[in-house]
Structure formats: structure tokens, C-alpha cells
Amino acid sequence: MSLSFTKMHGLGNDFVVIDARQNDPALDTPTIRHLCDRRFGIGCDQLVLLTPPTLHGADVHVRFFNPDGSEAGACGNASRCVVKFVGGAPTLQTAAGLLPTARDGDLVTVDMGLPRLDWQDVPLSQACDTLHLPLPTPLDAAACSMGNPHATIFGDASRAEALGAGLEQNALFPERANIGFAQILSPTHMRLRVWERGAGLTLACGSGACAAVVNAVRRGLTKRTCTVTMDGGDLRITWRADGHILMTGPAVTVFHGTTA
Ligand SMILES: N[C@H](CCC[C@H](N)C(=O)O)C(=O)O
């Protein structure tokens, strides 16, 4: 069965977007893993499936899948791409909730909702404020959820390749976790690299950028509005006084295609 798809990216975090609003292709896990494979399939960091909304107020239902076939509750860069794909400023229905959006030229803003700060909502396997992780040198680390689990390790951003895979699977994270490595450059600017759960090191991670700012603000390391510089480029993150997190950045359509 051939599938139509659109290849998109947000700061080099790339996606295969499948519009299933008219007909559901019933993608099983092996098919998802095949489509995400950069050698045997199309290749992407996440596969994004659009289906008709089921909640009042939503314009489209969006699901995110990692290349290992696992489903993610949030995907910030992909959410911006869906806004561009659908057009206008749709409200996205995701596992993390209803996400209102806005456009300003080529930039897209997604209200990523409220972070989940309680250890049981991340989730963690035990209550802890500072994460006790096997790091070569003692570094501060905090966790929260954006609808998906994120740990942020404060120090330098260069350790993602060396430490990411082991930390992703650490027993502290019963559902595994996305691991952000943050270097604070100023109260309004950080460098971030993210080893993503089920995907590995990516060029950018939108929900990871949101989590890193939340964790940095909680530690008194940055202000509530912060530029997050990742390998693929910058996102503007604001943790609003009402608790909502706004993420602003680009979304790019690369090509449209059909599988064989
Ligand atoms: N690239 C995505 C994050 C994917 C998260 C996924 N790896 C998970 O299992 O939570 C972003 O821009 O937020």
C-alpha cells in the first residue's frame, strides 16, 4: 500500500507527516519503524500522524512516534510543523492536551501547556528534587514532563553523545526519558543538546527546550523568557506567569512524496 507523506523539519529535527484525516492507513509498529528508518525507509526523527479531532475545540488530532516505534506524548518541533502543514493557527489535540497556536510570518508559536513538575507525573521511580544519575562529575539535574519525560543536566552541552543512551534507560525513569544537556550562557540564553528517548541525539528538541527552561527557572539559572540555542538553531521559550509555556520557532516543508 503506497502512502503519501510530507517531509518537514523544525531546526533540523525532522519528521514524516502522514495526513490520515480522510482515511486511516492503520500503521502498525513495524511499519512505523520502517518508515522512520533512514536506510530502508523514508527516514526521520519522528513520524507524525494526523487524524480527525475527537475533542471539542480541537482542529486536528496529532500523534507522534519515535523511530523505535514508541509513542511520544509531546513533540514541540513537530507541533510547529503540523501548524504549517494544516495552515492558519489550528488548535492541536495531543496526548499532552489541547495546544493553541499562532503564526507570525515564518515563525510558529505553540502553547505547549503546563509542565508537570511532580515526580510521579514525569514519571520518576522515586521522589527527588535533584536527580541522582551516574555522571562522570557531579552535576545538577532536574526533571519535568511536557507530556513526555525530560531530564535536564546542567553543565556543558558536549556530553550528549557519550552519556545520552545510558541515561535514557536509567532506572530513575520508568518510561525512559529524553535527556537534555544544558549550558547556561546568560540569564536569557542557554545552549542545549538533547538525547531523545527512542530517537537518539537530534539537532533540536522543542519539548526538551521547554523542559530545560522550566528546570533552569526552577533552579534560578535563567529568566522565564529564554533563547535556547541547539545544534539546529534557536527557539524562543517563555514560561508565562500563568504557567503555560510558549515555544516559538520555524517550521519547514522539505518535500512531498509517496512510498512505493
Ligand atoms: N523532537 C521532539 C521530542 C520528541 C520526544 C520523544 N523522543 C519522546 O519519546 O518523548 C520535540 O521537538 O519536542
pLDDT tens profile 105-150: 999 999 999 999 999 999 999 999 899 999 999 999 999 999 999 9
Mean pLDDT computed over 100-108: 97
State ipTM. 0.96
pLDDT at residue 21 above 90? Answer: yes
Residue 156's pLDDT is 86
Beta carbon of 211 within 6 Å of any ligand 1 atom: no
Residues 134-170, buried b or exposed e (16+ Cβ, 10 A)? eeeeebbbbbbbbbbbbbbbbbebebbeebbeebbeb
Strands 97-99 and 92-94: antiparallel
Cβ atoms within 10 A of the Cβ of 239, count?
A: 23
Ligand 1 pocket: which of 178, 202, 228, 234 to mutate (most atoms <8 Å of CB)? 178
Q: Whose CA is nearest to atom 1 of ligand 1?
A: 205
Distance from Cα 45 to the centre of ligand 1, integer Å: 8
Give pTM, 2 decimals: 0.98
pLDDT at residue 1 above 90? Answer: no
pLDDT at residue 65 above 90? Answer: yes
Contacts of 138 (CB under 8 A, 6+ apart): none
Distance of CA 200 to the CA centre of its chain: 12
pLDDT at residue 260 above 90? Answer: yes
Return binding residues: 13, 46, 66, 76-77, 148, 178, 196-197, 206-207
Strands 13-19 and 46-51: parallel
Share of the chain above pLDDT 90, in %: 97
User: What are 201's three cell numbers?
Assistant: 541525539
The catalytic site residues sit at 75, 205
Beta carbon of 67 within 6 Å of any ligand 1 atom: no
Partners of 234 in beta bridges: 229
Q: Per-residue confidence at 41, pLDDT binned at 50, 70, 90?
A: very high
Share of the chain above pLDDT 70, in %: 100
Residues 5-40, buried b or exposed e (16+ Cβ, 10 A)? bbbbbbbebbbbbbbbeeeeeebeeebbbbbbeeee
